[in-house]
Structure 1
Amino acid sequence: MRILVTGGAGYIGSVLVPKLLERGHHVRVVDRMFWGIPHYAGHPNVELVNADIRRLPEGLFDGIDAVDHLAGFSNDPTAEFSPEANWQMNASATDTIARQCIAAGVRRLVFGSSCSLYDGAPDADTLLDESSPLNPRGAYATSKHYSEQALLAHAGRDFEPVILRQATVFGLSPRMRFDLVLNTFVKDALVRQRLILHGGGRMWRPLVAVQDLADAHIAVLEAPSELVAGETFNVVGDNYQVRQLAEVVAAALVRLGQPVALVDGPLPNIVRNYRCSGEKLRSRLGIDLPTTAEQAVAELVETYRSVPIEQLGHPRYYNIAWMQLLEEARPAYQATHHIFEPLED
């Protein structure tokens, strides 16, 4: 297939695109390349398009068989940094992309949504599935919710949106992030030798490894229509308490002779505490998401334990810090670039 991947140079996309290429697909990537040219550039079956998803170039969907839509603001801090730009990228642009798919005859669109839509659940006693009530909080989750509704409103015989509600992602990626809970714990253990557990770390989170998440996207892209068309799937490897994750990280460092302290901290202003089921995806497509937190931590520690501490704090590893840095440099790009400001019509 010829697959268009939006956000293909990001944390998830830089894992997904090489996997698609390995399976023989041709990939067109549209991305602003804010973190540089991706490592797979130069592959004979990949085409890079440097563009803002709010203003996509003519002909982008020509010859495309399927779209995997990952682009947009990635979490609460980035969405709150510029709520209007977040809405344009995470909500309005998704609706526009659906319309462009339909106009170009592109049948399948896979959308990277978020389990944060369940975040308003009163407690973690219930394992939430795709039929559970949604109660999105904040600009990020609200924009993802709108996108889901817009995509499903376009669903029909000639257009097959598939919604993937992604759990919090972890693990090694060529475009690495240290602003995701497990990855953050690994970085803090290496840099500070202590992990702060807000509220004791008793809150539950659904998690999934980035490699497994990429495999889930591929399975949905390649699946027959009768299994996935117009469907919503949670993509969850397992549910963990935050304290469990910290203990896994601490144990990995202790085995290397580097003690790590676990320190209780105050509750955050917003307490996120929910668990999600990924059984529908597993049973429908017969796939597994096997990577455990222990396996990912071992790989992350092995990769970064010898990296100088000052490098682990570089803004490029933290989406909000990198956005702020680029915004400070925006006057130099003003004539030809829009960074994270809303676009005017």
Structure 2
Amino acid sequence: MRVLVTGGGGYIGSVLVRRLLDKGHAVRVVDRLYWGMAPLAEVLPRIEVVHADIRDARDEWFTGIDGIVHLAGLSNDPTANFDPEANWQMNAVATAEIAAACLRAGVQRFVFGSSCSLYDGLPDGATYDEDAPIAPRGPYAESKRYAEESLLQMAADGFCPVILRQGTVYGVSPRMRLDLVVNTFVKDALTQGRLLLHGGGWMSRPLVDVQDAADAQITALEAPADAVRGQIFNVVQDNYQIRDLAMQVAESVGQAHGSVAINMAPEPALVRNYRCANDKLYDTLGFRPARGVTQSVDEMVAAFGGMDTARLAHPRYYNLDWLVLLTEAHAGLRPFGYVLRRGEGARVSE
């Protein structure tokens, strides 16, 4: 299969691209590459890369493509709140336009990376499956709602959209993020020897490892059309209380790097607290995310073990910080056009 991955240089996308290649698929990536080419460097000879903004979709991107996994766009509440209009254009409008381009090009399979945050506004205490009403709160979840509705309206015999509502992702990726709850805990344990729990950590969150998220996307891509056309699947390994996560991380990191303290902080103004069922994906397609938090934490500790932990504070590991930095740098560069090298990008060390 020839697969187009939008956002293929991102946290999930760079894992997905490698797993697609391992399964023998041909891969074309469309990505703005805010984080540079480094996450794809080792597979560049084996893929095609289109360096472009998804808001500028061109029909030739979809020529010869059998299926698409659409991951590009802003990926969390803080970045969406930073620029709600850009979030809407990327996550909502561009998704509908890319789907329309797929229809024109005859691309039949469209796997969409949505979010379990669509359940965030529902009452606490229940576990929500895909038939539950949704209650999006904020620009990010609203943009995902619009994108889902647009795709589902296009479902037909010749077009098979599949919606994957992913839990909060964790784990090691070539384009590493440290602004996700488990990853943040690991970073804090390694760099500060302590974890900070807001509101006592009693809130629950659906979580999934980045490798499981990528494998779920491939499962949806390869599944029989009649089984997945117009279907929504939660992609969740399990639901965790934040305080339990903190204790797991403290124990795992503590075994290798000394004791880790857990401190309490005042309750924040907005506490996300929801749980999601994960049975439908297994019942329909035989796939269940299986990589638990402890396994992924151990892998992160190993990955960071030989690194100067001071580097973990670099803005590139935090989506909002990096986008703010790029926005400010872009504004400052306008009078100059370039920094030191005419016609060349600056070298950025990892």
Contact 1:3 1:65 in 2 (8 A): yes
Q: How many residues align?
A: 335
Q: Does 1:304 align with 2:304?
A: yes
Q: TM-score, normalised by structure 1?
A: 0.94
Q: Residue in 2 aligned with 1:206?
A: 206
Whose helix proportion is higher, 1 or 2?
2
| CA-to-aligned-CA distance 1:159-187 (integer Å, 9 cap, x gap) | 11100000000000000000000000000
> How far off its partner does 1:157 sit?
1.3
Same amino acid, percent of matched pairs? 56
Give the letter aligned to residue 156 of structure 2: G
1:108-257, aligned counterparts within 5 Å? 108-123=109-124, 125-257=125-257
Q: Which runs of 5+ in 2 are unaligned?
A: 339-350
SS of the aligned residue for 2:197 comes to: strand
Q: Does 1:31 align with 2:44?
A: no
Q: Residue in 1 aligned with 2:107?
A: 106
Contact 1:18 1:40 in 2 (8 A): no
Give the letter aligned to residue 317 of structure 2: Y
| Alignment partners' CA distance in 2, 1:334 and 1:327 | 14
Q: Residue in 2 aligned with 1:294?
A: 294
> How far off its partner does 1:271 sit?
1.1
Q: Residue in 2 aligned with 1:43?
A: 45
> How far off its partner does 1:147 sit?
0.3
Distance 1:208 1:335, change over 3 A: farther
Distance 1:308 1:34, change over 3 A: same
Runs of 4+ displaced beyond 2 Å: 39-44, 331-337
| Greater mean deviation of Cα atoms: 264-273 or 203-212 | 264-273
CA RMSD across the alignment: 1.5
> How far off its partner does 1:127 sit?
1.2
> How far off its partner does 1:335 sit?
10
| Alignment partners' CA distance in 2, 1:73 and 1:224 | 30
| CA-to-aligned-CA distance 1:267-309 (integer Å, 9 cap, x gap) | 1111111110111001111112110100001111111133212
Distance 1:336 1:100, change over 3 A: farther
Contact 2:59 2:101 in 1 (8 A): no
Give the letter aligned to residue 44 of structure 2: G
Q: Residue in 2 aligned with 1:325?
A: 325
> How far off its partner does 1:57 sit?
3.2
Contact 1:248 1:294 in 2 (8 A): yes
| Alignment partners' CA distance in 2, 1:69 and 1:175 | 17
Contact 2:18 2:43 in 1 (8 A): no
Contact 1:51 1:57 in 2 (8 A): no
Give the letter aligned to residue 111 of structure 1: F
| Alignment partners' CA distance in 1, 2:328 and 2:65 | 37
> How far off its partner does 1:257 sit?
4.6
| CA-to-aligned-CA distance 1:238-284 (integer Å, 9 cap, x gap) | 01000011101100122125111111111111111111011100111
Distance 1:217 1:334, change over 3 A: farther
| Alignment partners' CA distance in 2, 1:80 and 1:155 | 30
Q: Does 1:7 align with 2:41?
A: no
Q: TM-score, normalised by structure 2?
A: 0.93
Contact 1:190 1:305 in 2 (8 A): no
Contact 2:8 2:71 in 1 (8 A): yes
Q: Which runs of 5+ in 1 are unaligned?
A: 338-345
SS of the aligned residue for 1:49 comes to: strand
SS of the aligned residue for 1:220 comes to: helix
